[in-house]
Structure formats: C-alpha cells, structure tokens
Amino acid sequence: MLRKAIYPKVEVLIKPLVEFLNQKGFSPNQLTFAGLALNFLAGYMYANGFLVAGAVILILGSLGDLLDGPLANLSKKSSSFGAFLDSTIDRYSDFFIFGGLALHFARTGQVGWFLIVMGIILGSFATSYTKARAENFIKHCHAGIFERAERLIAIALGTLVPFLLPLILIVLFLGTNGTAIHRIFHTRNALAKDSPK
C-alpha cells in the first residue's frame, strides 16, 4: 500500500542510480542478495543490542529491495522467476531482522517483548502467505495496510529512536496480525460474492 503511494514519487530520484548500476553490469539478483546480506547484518546488530547501527544497515539493505525491480525493467531482465525469488528472499530478510530483535530481548531477559516480536514474525509471514494463497482463488488480495514496506519503515524508526520502540512493536504486532485476518475475511467475502447463487 505504502509502496504504491510513495514509489512513483521517488522513481525520478532513483532513476540515475538504477542507470548507473545497469551501466556497471549489476544484475537485479545481485541487488536482491546484497539486500539479504545487509538485512542479515542488521539482524546481527539487533541481536547484539546495537539498535541504531542495525537501523542504519536496515535502511541500506532496503535499497536493494527498492532498486532491484527498476533495474530488472531497465536491463530487460524482468522475469517471473525473478519476482518469485525476490519475494522468497524478502521472507528470509524479515526473519533475520525480527529474529535478531527477538534474540536481543531473549538475551536481556525481556520475555514479554520477545513474545511480541515472535508474534510480529508470525503476523508478517501470515500476511504474505494469506495473499499468496488467496490469489490462487481470487484475482487480487491487497487488503490491509501492514505490508512489508510499512513493517520495515516502522521497525527502522523504532530502532533509530529507541524510546518509540515499545509503542511501534505493539502497533506492528496488532497491525501485521490484523492485516492477515483482514485478508482472510476479504478472501471469504470475495469468494462468496463470486460463487453461484
């Protein structure tokens, strides 16, 4: 949702960078895996309590996710497999980021926040899974507002400004699981609407 609203506005800004990467021979998959590596590093920093450093690395890692699609289009390397790979890598990245944060809370004895972050991981995966499964039966399932871009922006903000982190974690827990539940009901209603009377 947020990506659709913001991306057209930043497309002009990132175009020179995408052209530069294309001229240097970088491939979309290289950006995808570079983003994965940076997100792993962000999770490692989170796990060791370096929240601000983790947030900065997370923001850098998110550039790979922002640029790989436009680079694929510009270099004529866009493919269904590339889109599939990108979505799959995103799930690993999400686990590294939030898993690292969960490990930080486990190490510091903050069991309640550890469980909240585990709930965010569950909600994040359920949000993606409900969309993927729903679109086997209905054309589109974009219901809900806590998609990946919103989750990453929220957690980057919360770890850059740590006093906001408790509030943001609660919002993410409710938002991710709420989005998954929203998609379940959206799919049920869409299927009921399309079924023969």
Candidate from 114-118, 152-156, 160-164, 192-196 with smallest mean pLDDT: 192-196
Question: What is the predicted pLDDT for the residue at 10?
Answer: 60
CATH number of the domain within which 30 lies:
1.20.120.1760
User: Is residue 38 over pLDDT 80?
Assistant: yes
Candidate from 9-23, 130-144, 157-171 with smallest mean pLDDT: 9-23
**Distance between CA 51 and CA 126 in Å, rounded?**
26
Binned at pLDDT 50, 70 and 90, residue 106 comes out as: very high
**Distance between CA 54 and CA 100 in Å, rounded?**
10
Q: Which of 68, 90, 94, 194 is catalytic?
A: 90
Instruction: Determine whether 65 is an active site residue.
Output: no
What's the structural domain count of the chain? 1
Tell me, yes or no, if the pTM score tops 0.75. Answer: yes
Q: Are 61 and 93 in contact (CB under 8 A)?
A: yes
138 lies in which domain range?
A: 2-194
Q: How many residues does the chain have?
A: 197
